[in-house]
């Protein structure tokens, strides 16, 4: 059906579409802006989470290293207490054996530099360092002993008082010496080599700015190691933040400014049953270095993406504007195309109908009947069902057509087509082959006897009187020829030819009957000839 549009209708449509184009343009800009904002927001959140994760990982690594160092230092202190037990045997009178054991311990355990044993009167009774050697100065040790609580059973760290490079890391630790029932027998001063202790961790990667601190209880630095090795300072520094953190808990993580060296991520751990604190630190800028580089790359990529998206959005808006200018012409062209397509569709449908169906009866024409029959016979070759082709025409049709007129003959053909359609199954194919000739392809029958039953039924129906055919009562009957597949032909052409021959044989034998095709054209005891009862 054709569609016609008025000028007012077209103007209304153009205005509506133009308004839609404007909305699309603004929607494109809003979507692009929202996309950029959302990308920036999600990226910022991800980078913040990544930064926090980096700091957390650094603190976890530092905490693990501080735990390892503190555990090893705690083991050193336990070995020192073992030495104190040996020293107690020396004070108990077993001088030779105790001295030999102390010498063996000193030779085996490299972290011990020397032992000095004092009685309760603070008199030096044994020293592993020969006089004039590298032993700590006696007056400094006596000052430390005089300032300590002699009844105390805890260990006390002593700061090195010498500025000599080779003695910078010598850290004396005081151990009480008591008998089995806890009576004080004296004091054992063990000098620890903190430089040797920290050198055990030289293969651990602590980063460019990483630093390991060994501190006293008050936060005074006893030893320090960096990635380049042990660090020597003329004056020991005091880290009050680490001391406060150690007092607050066994393990602490914090970010502090280490004496003007910048912000450091630090992990602090107090060594159990000892006067030491272990701290592992790294510059915050180094921890964040990889994050800063990745952030720069990400934001650079986002800037490029935003630029590309902006350019694309601008081009899209410009394209929408051009589309809006051309829209009116496109609407007209679209309407014309729709109308033309509708006409072509109608013409195509009519052409298909004319090419496939008989215009008078509505049945398949010869060409379509042959195509459908070919298709069904292909299936029949792979089937065990029975197929047959019936060819029929109306007896004395030419006489009816000549005496009563063509309009009566045409109407008669239409009624015959209706009776054929009503008397056959939907799976059967019916076609008008021309004039008063019809063809029927019976498909998928269970037995050959079914063919005979259908032929009798058609013969009876088509032989009934045709009343009120354009005001006339017409009497006619069909003559039908039957060809069996594949016995009488393997294709449509041969089946039609043989069925046509059988139909003429039926006419010669009296009309109003049907006959099966017989190649010998012999009656064979009147096989296939069945007059109407």
First to last CA, the chain: 53
Write the pLDDT tens digit of every residue in 12-21: 454 455 577 6
- Both 206 and 58 in one domain: the answer is yes
How far lies 443's CA from each of 168, 278, 291, 384, 488, in Å? 113, 99, 80, 11, 15
Q: How many domains is the chain partitioned into structurally?
A: 2
Burial of 425 from C-beta contacts in 10 A (0-12 / 13-18 / 19+): exposed
- Both 219 and 120 in one domain: the answer is yes
Residue 37 lies in a domain: no
- Both 253 and 371 in one domain: the answer is no
For residue 515, give its domain range: 366-531
Residue 434 lies in a domain: yes
Burial of 136 from C-beta contacts in 10 A (0-12 / 13-18 / 19+): buried
- Both 132 and 272 in one domain: the answer is yes
Residue 26 lies in a domain: no
Residue 522 lies in a domain: yes
Cα–Cα–Cα angle for 368, 370, 376, nearest 5°?
105
In CATH, what number is assigned to the domain containing residue 389?
Answer: 3.30.70.270
* The pLDDT of residue 463: 93
Write the pLDDT tens digit of every residue in 495-518: 999 999 999 999 998 888 999 998
Domain boundary among 252, 269, 287: 287
Burial of 284 from C-beta contacts in 10 A (0-12 / 13-18 / 19+): buried
- Both 263 and 374 in one domain: the answer is no
- Both 99 and 226 in one domain: the answer is yes
**Backbone phi and psi for residue 479, each to the nearest 5 degrees, phi listed first:** -115, 125
438/165: higher pLDDT: 438
Q: Residue 481 forms beta bridges with which residues?
A: 391, 515
Q: What is the DSSP string of 134-177?
A: SPPPHHHHHHHHHTS-TT--S-EE-------GGGTTEEEEEEEE
3-state secondary structure 443-490: EEECCHHHHHHHHHHHHHHHCCCEEEECCEEECCCEEEEEEEECCCCC
Domain boundary among 266, 287, 308: 287
Residue 349 lies in a domain: no
Contact of 132 with 102, CB cutoff 8 Å: no
442/302: higher pLDDT: 442
How far lies 472's CA from each of 406, 460, 503, in Å? 13, 21, 27
Residue 313 lies in a domain: no
> How many angstroms separate the CA atoms of 397 and 417, rounded?
14
389/141: higher pLDDT: 389
- Both 76 and 218 in one domain: the answer is yes
Contact of 227 with 202, CB cutoff 8 Å: no
- Both 260 and 399 in one domain: the answer is no
Residue 341 lies in a domain: no
In CATH, what number is assigned to the domain containing residue 231?
Answer: 3.30.450.20
Residue 318 lies in a domain: no
Domain boundary among 227, 258, 287: 287
Write the pLDDT tens digit of every residue in 338-354: 888 888 888 777 777 67
- Both 126 and 235 in one domain: the answer is yes
- Among candidates 284, 282, 338, 247, which has minimal Cα distance to 52? 284
* The pLDDT of residue 494: 94
Write the pLDDT tens digit of every residue in 167-198: 567 888 888 888 877 787 888 888 888 888 88
* The pLDDT of residue 255: 82
- Among candidates 225, 145, 228, 222, which has minimal Cα distance to 187? 145
* The pLDDT of residue 133: 43
> How many angstroms separate the CA atoms of 216 and 155, rounded?
12
254/446: higher pLDDT: 446
């Amino acid at each position: 059906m054709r569609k016609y549009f008025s000028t007012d209708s077209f103007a209304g449509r153009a205005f509506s579409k133009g308004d839609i184009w404007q909305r699309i343009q603004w929607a494109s800009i809003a979507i692009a802006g929202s996309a950029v904002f959302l990308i920036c927001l999600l990226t910022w959140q991800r980078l913040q989470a990544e930064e926090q994760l980096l700091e957390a990982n650094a603190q976890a690594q530092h905490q693990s290293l501080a735990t390892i160092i503190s555990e090893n230092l705690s083991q050193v202190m336990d070995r020192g207490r073992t030495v104190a037990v040996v020293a107690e045997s020396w004070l108990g009178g077993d001088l030779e054996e105790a001295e030999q054991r102390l010498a063996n311990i000193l030779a085996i355990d490299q972290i011990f530099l020397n032992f000095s044993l004092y009685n309760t009167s603070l008199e030096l009774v044994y020293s592993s360092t020969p006089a004039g050697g590298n032993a700590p100065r006696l007056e400094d040790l006596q000052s430390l002993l005089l300032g300590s609580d002699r009844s105390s059973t805890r260990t006390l760290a002593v700061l090195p008082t010498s500025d000599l490079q080779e003695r910078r890391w010598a850290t004396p630790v005081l151990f009480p010496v008591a008998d089995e029932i806890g009576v004080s027998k004296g004091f054992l001063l063990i000098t620890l080599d903190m430089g040797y202790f920290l050198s055990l961790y030289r293969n651990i990667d602590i980063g460019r700015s990483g630093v390991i601190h060994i501190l006293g209880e008050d936060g005074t630095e006893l030893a320090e190691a960096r990635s380049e090795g042990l660090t020597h300072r003329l004056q020991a520094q005091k880290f009050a933040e680490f001391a406060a953190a150690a007092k607050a808990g066994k393990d602490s993580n914090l970010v502090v400014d280490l004496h003007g060296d910048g912000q450091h991520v630090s992990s602090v751990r107090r060594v159990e049953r000892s006067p030491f604190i272990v701290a592992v630190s790294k510059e915050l800028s180094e921890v964040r270095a990889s994050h800063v580089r990745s952030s720069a790359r990400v934001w650079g990529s986002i800037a490029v993406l935003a630029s590309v998206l902006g350019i694309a959005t601008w081009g899209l808006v410009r394209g929408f504007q051009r589309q809006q200018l051309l829209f009116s012409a496109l609407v007209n062209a679209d309407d014309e195309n729709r109308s033309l397509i509708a006409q072509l569709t109608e013409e195509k449908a009519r052409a298909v109908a004319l090419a496939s169906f008989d215009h008078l009866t509505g049945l398949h024409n010869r060409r379509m009947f042959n195509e459908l029959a070919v298709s069904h016979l292909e299936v029949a070759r792979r089937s065990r069902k029975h197929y047959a082709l019936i060819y029929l025409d109306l007896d004395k049709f030419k006489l009816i057509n000549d005496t009563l007129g063509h309009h009566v003959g045409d109407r008669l053909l239409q009624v015959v087509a209706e009776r054929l359609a009503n008397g056959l199954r939907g799976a059967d194919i019916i076609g008008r082959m021309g004039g008063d000739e019809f063809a029927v392809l019976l498909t998928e029958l269970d037995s050959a006897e079914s063919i005979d039953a259908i032929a009798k039924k058609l013969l009876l129906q088509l032989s009934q009187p045709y009343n009120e055919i354009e005001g006339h009562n017409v009497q006619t009957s069909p003559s039908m020829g039957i060809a069996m597949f594949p016995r009488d032909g393997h294709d449509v052409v041969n089946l039609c030819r043989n069925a046509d021959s059988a139909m003429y044989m039926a006419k010669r034998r009296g009309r109003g009957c049907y006959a099966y095709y017989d190649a010998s054209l012999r009656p064979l005891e009147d096989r296939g000839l069945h007059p109407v009862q």
